[in-house]
Structure 1
Amino acid sequence: MRFIMKIAASIIILVLSVVFSTIGYAAIGNYPVILIHGFQSDQLQSKPDRAQVERDGEDSWKEYWLQYADARIDWPSHERIEGKISSQYVWPKLQELSRNGICQSGCILVTHSAGDLIARYILDNQENWLLNAGLEPINIVATYDFAGAGGGSELADIIMNVVEGGGLANRAMRYAISLWLGEMPNRTNTGVLNDLRVSNARSIASLSDNRIPRIRFIGNGTEYYKATSVFLPGNDDGVVAAHSACGALRVGSFNSCSSSLAMNGKVERQSNGVSEFMPAHYPVLMGDGYSHSDVVEAEYKGKLTSSINDISLANGQTVGVETYQESKWWRSKYLYVEGSDSRTMSEIVSNLH
């Protein structure tokens, strides 16, 4: 009997090893996924070592996207993008990705918040960096950018002005900052907040020749009781304004990523909708109830809308969503994304086809 059980156990182990050897990457569709997380405020004070940076990076995606990750680019928020973030964290990872060939048939970068800005810096530089090192560039077919902070955040401007002595924080400012950061940083621990100032963010790789599609997913909710929204122009997700999340060419007080569709799906002209975008930036989903962190988490916050149905990836293939119209009071019409009556924004994105 014991002998038979040993044989059965061996067969099970063999079957499992075959199954797991054929699973391959945890890809979205046919594309391996590389995650780039956002700003982590507690790192300004803790200044973590590399091992802790990696643990924090993993934790930031645990609620949903970690299951799809084939690789991550983890980075420390107490450093600068064009400094140690690039030289000590991004560059070694790019070399690893090139050598292991994970992106040979194309990869998708999935970013959140400031990860959008780091992705832009990568897209602008990775080809030259790797070629100069005798390595193959990473084949990136698109980026999926959630709550993108590539246009900076006015909250970072406020904090840096106060830290540098150029402004005074009133009670409302201090309350908003405490909700976002926990406490006011000092001159010695501002790190990537410098890069998130609106003018600084928009100057990083701003006019790149790279035309990899930047596919955007935008929230219009808040988890800070609207306290931070007072300091952000137009609509916002509690941390970044629509001009950044949508990928607008210019800073402005925008109420939508579309000139003909509101963030809640109402089909009507938007006098303050974004009409000009940074090169290859495409706002595909807008979610009226989703905050800055909700967009990458697993909690349902309401229906989504979209004015763009299909986007061509860098390899010519397309991804997109299906939409339907719904009539409501006073003949008003609303445009919604199929499946968003029950699925979260991240669930919809992970099933783009």
Structure 2
Amino acid sequence: MRTIKRLCVFTILLAMASLSQAKLAGKNVVLVHGFRASDIENRPSDSSLQSLANSYWSEYWNQSGRAEKVLYWSSAERVTGGIKDDIRRQLTGIANAGTCANGCVFVTHSTGDLVTRYAIRNLGAWGLSSKIKVLAVLDFAGAGGGTELADVAVGVSEGEGWVNSAQRSAIRTFLGFDPQRGQLGVLYDLQPSRARNLATANSGVPRMRFVGTGWQYAGATKPFLSGMDDSVVPLHSACGATTAGAYDTCDRNVANNGELKTVSKSPAGIWYNHFPVIMGEKTNHSGVINNDTGSEFTTVKNNFSRNGITVDFQTKTESKWWSWGTKVRWVRFNGQWGSRYNLSRVVYETLNN
């Protein structure tokens, strides 16, 4: 009997541990994935989209019960069309289940930033604002300001005269296929001129930004992006800059590699309630949410709290052999440099306190 009781207690403790892992700062986590080029080419069925969304986050955020809910949508659709319908239906289910009645933290990647911004803006119109409380959004490589790759993709699909072979090759590398006129789905919304005019009204929900400037696709896409970028999203978008521009950092007082110096190519302003938190010099577009390591991280805005989410990354500031006397600020995690860990783990375990 005593052994059975011990087994019962152990089982209960395991269940409690599992439940506690599904929280961030004590709140449920909802994941919103980013752009998936394969949706445009393959047009997956609605029944497949949830599985694809789960796989999208499988390396870190959808492991060990870190998320309570994974939302899905198709990149073959438009934000104000099919994407809106899918997200509204799923948010209605979340509202009815009471998942976010006491507050949720949304975590987005890439285009998920834009999709979530539109959804939050329309919670009231959808009759969900009293049942879904969004405390904060963690945007990884956020594409809320669009990407110039979308402009190039549209140009390639329409056969515009200014498109050259290098641009065609870059888009083919990025998408995995040649884009067709009128069949680019959410890429139309990701053109900077459109993204920056979609659901841009000020919001009371804080957006915490985590960005990178690493290389992906063998660098094929970088020449067509404005300023520094993660090979898909430029800093003007990922940082949350009020205007598009060729920026080298999220803040004029710190470079993307952590050097504490004045950087002239920096945003004049950041969108209301947007907070660039971390930059990873060698972190690429996928690396912000997977298990990639090897990139040092620097903080932009640190040591602040919003709606119960406390941002308090440990850092160390010192001169490096290559910095010529300039101080460099890098994140420390578990007593070591951040480069030993993937960015998402550093963020999750630091904010989950």
Query: 1:86 and 2:84 equivalent?
Result: yes
Instruction: Give, in angstroms, the shift of residue 317 of structure 1.
Output: 5.0
CA contact (8 A) 1:79 1:191 kept: yes
Residues 289-331 of structure 1, C-alpha deviation per residue, up to 9 Å, x if partnerless? 0000011011203210012113432x35532312220112331
CA distance in 2, matches of 1:341, 1:100: 39
Cα gap change, 1:316 to 1:350, in 2 (>3 Å): closer
| Match in the other structure for 2:120 | 123
Residue 112 of structure 1 is aligned with which of 109, 112, 133? 109
CA distance in 2, matches of 1:10, 1:181: 56
CA distance in 2, matches of 1:259, 1:175: 34
Cα gap change, 1:15 to 1:247, in 2 (>3 Å): same
Instruction: Give, in angstroms, the shift of residue 168 of structure 1.
Output: 4.5
| Match in the other structure for 1:184 | 178
Q: Which runs of 5+ in 1 are unaligned?
A: none
| Match in the other structure for 2:59 | 63
Query: 1:75 and 2:73 equivalent?
Result: yes
| Match in the other structure for 2:41 | 45
CA contact (8 A) 2:77 2:186 kept: yes
- 1:24 aligned counterpart, secondary structure: helix
Residues 263-288 of structure 1, C-alpha deviation per residue, up to 9 Å, x if partnerless? 00111100002230111111100000
Residue 282 of structure 1 is aligned with which of 253, 264, 275? 275
Equivalent runs, 1:1-353 vs 2, <5 Å: 12=7, 15-16=10-11, 19-20=14-15, 23-24=18-19, 26-67=22-63, 68-87=66-85, 89-131=86-128, 136-206=130-200, 208-313=201-306, 315=307, 317-329=309-321, 330-339=324-333, 340-353=338-351
Instruction: Give, in angstroms, the shift of residue 259 of structure 1.
Output: 0.3
Which moved further from structure 2: 342-351 or 258-267?
A: 342-351
Instruction: Give, in angstroms, the shift of residue 210 of structure 1.
Output: 1.5
CA contact (8 A) 1:162 1:168 kept: no
Amino acid paired to 2:29? V
- 2:340 aligned counterpart, secondary structure: coil
CA contact (8 A) 2:222 2:231 kept: yes
Residues 26-81 of structure 1, C-alpha deviation per residue, up to 9 Å, x if partnerless? 11120111000000001101101111111110110001110211001110010111
Q: Which runs of 5+ in 2 are unaligned?
A: none
Instruction: Give, in angstroms, the shift of residue 23 of structure 1.
Output: 4.0
CA distance in 1, matches of 2:18, 2:170: 46
- 1:196 aligned counterpart, secondary structure: coil
Instruction: Give, in angstroms, the shift of residue 13 of structure 1.
Output: 6.9
Instruction: Give, in angstroms, the shift of residue 104 of structure 1.
Output: 2.1
Which moved further from structure 2: 326-335 or 89-98?
A: 326-335
When the two chains are superposed, the root-mean-square deviation of aligned CA atoms in Å is: 2.1
Aligned residue pairs: how many?
342
CA contact (8 A) 1:143 1:215 kept: yes
CA contact (8 A) 2:294 2:340 kept: no
CA contact (8 A) 1:257 1:275 kept: no
CA contact (8 A) 1:300 1:342 kept: yes
Instruction: Give, in angstroms, the shift of residue 9 of structure 1.
Output: 8.1
CA distance in 1, matches of 2:202, 2:300: 26
Give the TM-score normalised by the residue count of structure 1: 0.91
Instruction: Give, in angstroms, the shift of residue 19 of structure 1.
Output: 3.7
CA distance in 2, matches of 1:165, 1:227: 20
Instruction: Give, in angstroms, the shift of residue 211 of structure 1.
Output: 2.0
Cα gap change, 1:11 to 1:336, in 2 (>3 Å): closer
Give the TM-score normalised by the residue count of structure 2: 0.91
Amino acid paired to 1:72? V
Amino acid paired to 1:75? W
